């Protein structure tokens, strides 16, 4: 179980100018299939949630899900830390963005493979030690990837260094589970810096996962 929670935490992580960065909210529909004995698809979907609201502003991002195990995650660029609020813990668990138990073995980029919500998307495939990760993205929703050079956790910079844009679809396949995350809404908007602040009374500890 510890291994699958670690992998799930990882899953839940072109050069453009700074002025072109996408800032706003993306809603994703997530579905999971379990390959772990004793853990059903329904249990896994309930744990991780099927609706995800993801917000990004410059180098920070925040993810909120409706799962029973995972509630939200918050990445602070200035600290290069990813904070997670999980069930059963009064403290926020943090992961060092510079660390990554996974590694990318090869990448393949295919242009114009699909269309999602009116955005023509390219496909980037990462073959990793943990399995295969596929990302579908549009250059119309760019991210300044240099802000995330230190964010190795979850192969986030490995993806951004090739794509330079927010993903509109993610497909992850590992020996323990598979996941598909598809955008159902894209909302450019201005977000305040305080939206990405930790709760004032937050207690934190390094994540064991």
Q: List the one residue out of 112, 80, 111 whose CA is nearest residue 94.
A: 80
pLDDT in tens, 73-113: 999 999 999 999 998 888 999 999 999 999 999 999 999 99
Q: List the one residue out of 141, 129, 132, 117 whose CA is nearest residue 170.
A: 132
Average pLDDT rounded to a whole number, residues 172-178: 97
Q: Does 66 score more than 80 pLDDT?
A: yes
Tokens 């660390």 locate to 99
CA–CA separation, 18 and 188 (whole Å): 15
Q: Which residues pair with 181 in a beta bridge?
A: 30, 170
pLDDT in tens, 18-45: 346 899 999 999 999 999 999 999 999 9
Write the DSSP assignment of 130-159 as a string of letters: S-EEEEEEEEEEE--GGGGTT--GGGHHHH
| Contact indicator for 118, 140 with CB cutoff of 8 Å | no
Identify the pLDDT of residue 12.
Answer: 53
Q: Does 154 score more than 80 pLDDT?
A: yes
| Contact indicator for 135, 9 with CB cutoff of 8 Å | no
Q: What percent of the chain has pLDDT over 90?
A: 84
């Amino acid at each position: 179980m510890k291994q699958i929670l670690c992998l799930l935490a990882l899953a839940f992580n072109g050069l453009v100018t700074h002025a072109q960065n996408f800032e706003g909210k993306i809603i994703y529909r997530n579905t999971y299939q379990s390959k772990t004995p004793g853990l059903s698809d329904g249990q896994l979907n309930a744990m991780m949630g099927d609706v995800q609201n993801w917000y990004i502003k410059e180098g920070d991002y925040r993810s909120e899900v409706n799962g029973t195990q995972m509630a939200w995650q918050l990445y602070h660029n200035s600290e290069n830390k990813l904070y997670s609020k999980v069930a059963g813990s009064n403290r926020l668990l943090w992961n060092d963005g510079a660390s990554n138990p996974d590694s990318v073995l090869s990448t393949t980029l295919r242009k114009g493979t699909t269309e999602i919500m009116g955005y023509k998307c390219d496909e980037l495939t990462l073959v990793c030690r943990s399995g295969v990760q596929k990302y579908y993205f549009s250059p119309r929703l760019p991210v300044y990837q240099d802000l995330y050079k230190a964010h190795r956790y979850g192969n986030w910079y490995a993806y951004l260094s090739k794509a330079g844009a927010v993903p509109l679809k993610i497909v992850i396949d590992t020996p323990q589970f598979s996941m598909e995350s598809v955008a159902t809404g894209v909302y450019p908007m201005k977000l305040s810096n305080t939206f990405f602040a930790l709760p004032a009374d937050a207690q934190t500890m390094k994540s064991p996962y």
